Amino acid sequence: MRIARGESIATHALLVVAAVIAAFPLVSIVVSSLHGVTGSSGGLSFASYSTAWTNGRFGSALLSSALVSVTVVVVTVLLACLAGFALATMRVPGGRLILGLLLLGLVLPYEVTVLPLYELLAGWHLVDTYWALILPQIALSVPLGVLWMRSFFASVPTELLEAARIDGTSRLQTLRLVVLPVAGPAIATLSTVLFLFTWNEFLLALILVPDNATVQTVPLALSFFSGAARSSDPAVTAAAAVLVALPVLLAYALLQRRLIGGLTEGAVK
């Protein structure tokens, strides 16, 4: 009993220390943002948030990030469900080769593809457009999505698929009516991961949409804003960072149960 109680205390102490270490940067940025802009009276103030929002024009950047992230998630999840179901339950010609290529696309550092992507999209006259952000991120997200959903569909009992086939349903109907309703946790987890990755993407935005402010996403807008002379005030820069991170924090807070549930369910299976 004493050993178990000692292990419990040590575990909780370790978790508290880890939580403090993880939360310290965020708390310090929030505190810095509340100190007010340079030259203002002392004390806590939200003036830095108003200054950052107005001067940084983060409204359009947030809309751009939301549009790009939602589009990438929806299209990727749709393609991942279709391809993952086919690879898991059907005899696809060259299926092993396809899986190998998907795995290669998953482990290949995407930095090596940035310059070829720029040349390709420049030839299509898509640089500095939403398509320059959406199409490459869909292509980069599909390998993870397909492998993720294939792993889940492969764990679905074959008896369930056979029962649907006996009832006369087509493969597409089996996917839509039988398999997808039980794939909610896997889809929710994949959607959350893709949303976070897409929202925080910086390098592609820096290379592919450097000059069009109307389509720039929040990480790129924050980078330009923090490097500008008008944002030399640390409180304003901290407030801008909080504005950029807030949607991600809210999304994670709302979806953390589905995310953790999907991960643990996959681990159990």
Rounded CA-CA distance 238/242 in Å is 6
Q: Can you give the pLDDT at residue 172? A: 84
Give average pLDDT by consecutive 10-residue segment, the chain, 269 residues.
68 86 83 66 71 81 92 95 90 86 83 87 91 93 92 86 82 85 87 89 89 87 72 76 82 68 49
Is residue 219 within 8 Å of residue 205, measured between CB atoms? yes
Q: Can you give the pLDDT at residue 194? A: 92
Structural domains in the chain plus CATH codes: 47-268 (1.10.3720.10)
Q: Can you give the pLDDT at residue 213? A: 82
Helix axes 58-89, 184-199, angle to 10 degrees: 140
**SS3 of the chain: helix, strand, coil, percent, to 5:** 80, 0, 20
Rounded CA-CA distance 198/217 in Å is 10
pTM for the predicted model, two decimal places: 0.81
Contacts of 201 (CB under 8 A, 6+ apart): 133, 137, 217, 219
The one-letter code for the residue type at 246 is L
Q: Can you give the pLDDT at residue 142? A: 93
